[in-house]
Amino acid sequence: MTRVGRTLSGPPTLADRDRALVWHPYTQMRTAPPPLPIVGGKGVYLYTEDGRRILDGISSWWVNIHGHSHPALNAALAQQAARLEHVMFAGCTHPPAVDLAERLVALLPAGITRVFYSDNGSTAVEVAVKLAAQYWINKGEPRRTAFVTLHHAYHGDTVGAMSVSEDSIFTRAFAPLLFPVTRAHAPYCYRCPLGLERATCRVDCLGDLEEKLSALDGTAAAVIVEPMLQGAGGMIVWPAEFLSGVRRLCDRFGVLMIADEVLTGFGRTGRMFACEHAAVTPDIICLSKALTAGYLPLGATCTTEAVYEAFLSDDRGRTFFHGHSFTANPLACAVALASLDLFEREGTLDRVRRLEAQLRAGLAPLAARPLVGDVRVIGGVGAIELVSDKTTRAAGGYLDGIGPRLAAAFLARGLLLRPLGNILYFMPPYVITEEETAWAIDQIGEVIEAMTV
C-alpha cells in the first residue's frame, strides 16, 4: 500500500509526506487542513515550500522574540557546537550553564538565588510542583500536600502540570491520572466570577483564594499562578493588585508561591518578568519558551535560598531526585545567553513597550464590532474575545468553530494566527516594525468585519 500520496505534477510535497507519517500536537488529524510547509524563516517572516511569505503572528507558539534566524543567535549556537554540544549535568557542569544561572539570578526578582534546569515549560512546572511537595516533607510537615491553583489555568501537559491546570478539554481525558487540587477564582474581569465591574471593584475575587487557603487549615503546600497573563486559558490579563494579593496571602498562610512565567517571562508583558508588575518575589519561578528566543528547548525552575536549603542534608534521601537527559544543554544555554545580550544591546524592553502602545491604539476600536466582547492588551500581546451575543457574552470556548475559520482567513492573507477558539490573539516577535504591526492590525480588523457580515 502506498503510504505517501503524490501530486499530479510531480513528487510528493512536504505536506503529503508529513500527513503519511507525522502526528501533530493539538490537532484532530482527520479534519485538520494540511500542515503549513515551512522551509525557512527570517525576522518576523516564515517561508513556505511553495514560495509564500507568512508573518509569524504568534511567535511560533510564543517562543520567538528576536525574530527567526537571528545572526547573533546563529553565531552563538555554532560557536558552542564547535566546543561542546552536550554533557550530562549530574556530576558535571559547563560554562554556559553557570554563566546563564548567574545572568538569570541577576535579572530575576530579588531573593531568587538558585536555578534548576530542565528542558521545556511543562517540565519546569513539573519540577516546581515536585519541589514544593518535597520541600514540606523535608521540613518535617508532610501534611502539607494540597495545591491551590486558579480557574482558567494552564500549566502544561505533563501529569503534574495538568493536575494544577483547569479541568478542561486539555485535561479531561486524563482525569484518572491527575491528583486533586483546590481551585480559586481568577481575576477574569470581563467574566467576573462575582459579577462585578473592574472600574468599581476592589479585586474582591481575591477573597475566594483567602477562603480556600483558610479552609485547607495548614495543609496547603503551594499556590501556583500565571502572573498577569493567563495564556491558553483565554489570554486573561490581570490587575496587578491581584498578583500582589496572592503573595500577601501566601505569606499569611505560610505557603509557597509558584509563578509560572513560562509564557510571561522575558518581556512578554512589558517587564522582563511579569512578577515585576506587582514587585513580588515568588518562592519558585518557572521559565522556558522565550528563554532561548525560540531556538532550542530549555526550562529553568528558580527558587529562593530557603527552598534550596530544605534539600541540603547528610541524608541522601532528602535529595531532589529529578532530572532530564538534556538538562542544561550547552547549546541551549549558549543561545539563551546570546538572547540576554540582545536585550541589553537592542533595547528590547523599550521595543515591547512601543509595541504595546501601538496594539492598544490599534485594537481598541475593534471593541465596537458586533462580534467583539473584549479587547485586552499587555506588553507585546493583544487579545480579542469574540462572542456570539454582546449582551449575554455568550461564546463557544476553545472548540468554537470560529477559531479554525479565522486561522484560515488570516493565512490566506499571509498572517499566521492560531486562535484559542473564540479568543483571537496577536503575539509577534519583538522585532516587528510599526509598519508590519499596522498591517497585521488592519488584517485583524478586516477579517473580523468579514466574519460579522
Q: Is 135 a catalytic residue?
A: no
Cell numbers 486559558 correspond to 233
Who contacts 206 (Cβ-Cβ below 8 Å, separation ≥6)?
Answer: 187, 242, 245, 246, 249
Number of residues written out for the chain: 453
Q: Is 260 a catalytic residue?
A: yes
Catalytic residue among 154, 188, 295, 425: 154
CA pseudo-torsion sign 93, 95, 97, 100 = positive
Who contacts 352 (Cβ-Cβ below 8 Å, separation ≥6)?
Answer: 267, 268, 270, 379, 380, 430
Q: What are phi and psi for residue 39, nearest 5 degrees?
A: -120, -5
Catalytic residue among 157, 289, 374, 430: 289
Catalytic residue among 260, 283, 374, 400: 260
Question: Residue 187 — left, alpha, or beta (φ > 0 → left; ψ -120 to 50 → alpha)?
Answer: beta
CB atoms within 10 A of CB 285: 29
Q: How is residue 310 written as a grid cell?
A: 530544605
Q: Is 117 a catalytic residue?
A: no
Question: Residue 69 — left, alpha, or beta (φ > 0 → left; ψ -120 to 50 → alpha)?
Answer: left
Q: Is 374 a catalytic residue?
A: no
**Residues identified as active-site:** 26, 154, 260, 289
